[in-house]
Chain A
Amino acid sequence: MDFSWVSEFWPILLGGLWRTLLLLVLGALFGFALAIPVAVARISPNPILYYLSGTFTTVIRGTPLLVQIYILYYGVGTLLAATPEVRTSIFWPYLRDGFWYVVVSLAISVAAYEGELLRGGLLSVAKGQLEAARAFGMSSGLMFRRIWLPSALRMLLPTLVGDTVLLLKSTALASTVAVVDLVGAANQVRTHTFLVYEPLLTVALVYLIITAMITSIAGLISRRVPQKAV
Chain B
Amino acid sequence: MMRVSPDDATHRACAVKITGLHKSFGQLEVLKGISLEAREGDVVTLIGSSGSGKSTLLRCINLLEVPDAGTLSVGAEEIRFTPSRGGRPPRLDSHKVRGIRMRLGMVFQSFNLWNHMTVLENIIEAPLFVHGVARAEAVEFAKQLLAKVGLYEKRDVYPAFLSGGQQQRAAIARALAINPRVMLFDEPTSALDPELVGEVLKVIRDLADEGRTMILVTHEMSFARQVSSHVAFLHKGIVEEEGPPAKVFHNPQSERCRQFVSAQHALA
Stretch with Cβ within 8 A of A (4 or more), from B8-16, B27-35, B98-106, B233-241: B98-106
Stretch with Cβ within 8 A of A (4 or more), from B43-51, B107-115, B199-207, B221-229: B107-115
Are A137 and B112 interface neighbours, CB within 8 A?
Answer: no
Selected from B113, B114, B130, the residue in CB contact (under 8 A) with A137 is B130
Asked whether B161 is an interface residue with its Cβ less than 8 Å from the other chain, the reply is: yes
Are B114 and A151 interface neighbours, CB within 8 A?
Answer: yes
For A153, the closest partner residue in chain B by CB is B116
The B contact surface, by secondary structure, is loop
Asked whether B62 is an interface residue with its Cβ less than 8 Å from the other chain, the reply is: yes
Asked whether B216 is an interface residue with its Cβ less than 8 Å from the other chain, the reply is: no
Asked whether A64 is an interface residue with its Cβ less than 8 Å from the other chain, the reply is: no
For B125, the closest partner residue in chain A by CB is A146
Bound-state CA distance A136–B105 (Å) is 7
Asked whether A192 is an interface residue with its Cβ less than 8 Å from the other chain, the reply is: no
For B111, the closest partner residue in chain A by CB is A128
For A140, the closest partner residue in chain B by CB is B94
Bound-state CA distance A121–B51 (Å) is 32
A129-B115, A132-B106 known; A229-B98 Cβ under 8 A: no
Within 8 Å CB of B130, what residues of A?
136-138, 142
Are A129 and B114 interface neighbours, CB within 8 A?
Answer: yes
Chain A, interface size category, equals: 20 to 34
Bound-state CA distance A94–B171 (Å) is 53
- A134-178: which residues lie under 8 A (CB-CB) from chain B? 134-139, 142, 146-147, 150-151, 154
Are B116 and A154 interface neighbours, CB within 8 A?
Answer: yes
Bound-state CA distance A139–B113 (Å) is 18
Are B112 and A129 interface neighbours, CB within 8 A?
Answer: yes
Within 8 Å CB of B161, what residues of A?
226, 229
Asked whether B158 is an interface residue with its Cβ less than 8 Å from the other chain, the reply is: yes
Most B-side CB within 10 Å, residue of A137, A151, A154? A137
Are B129 and A138 interface neighbours, CB within 8 A?
Answer: yes
For B113, the closest partner residue in chain A by CB is A132
Are A151 and B126 interface neighbours, CB within 8 A?
Answer: no
Are B129 and A135 interface neighbours, CB within 8 A?
Answer: no
- Smallest distance from the beta carbon of A134 to chain B beta carbons, Å? 6
Which residues in B have some Cβ–Cβ distance to A below 8 Å? 62, 64, 94, 97-98, 101-102, 104, 106, 108, 110-116, 125-126, 129-130, 158, 160-161, 178
In the A-B complex, the 5 residue pairs with the closest CB atoms:
A137-B101, A128-B112, A132-B112, A136-B126, A135-B106
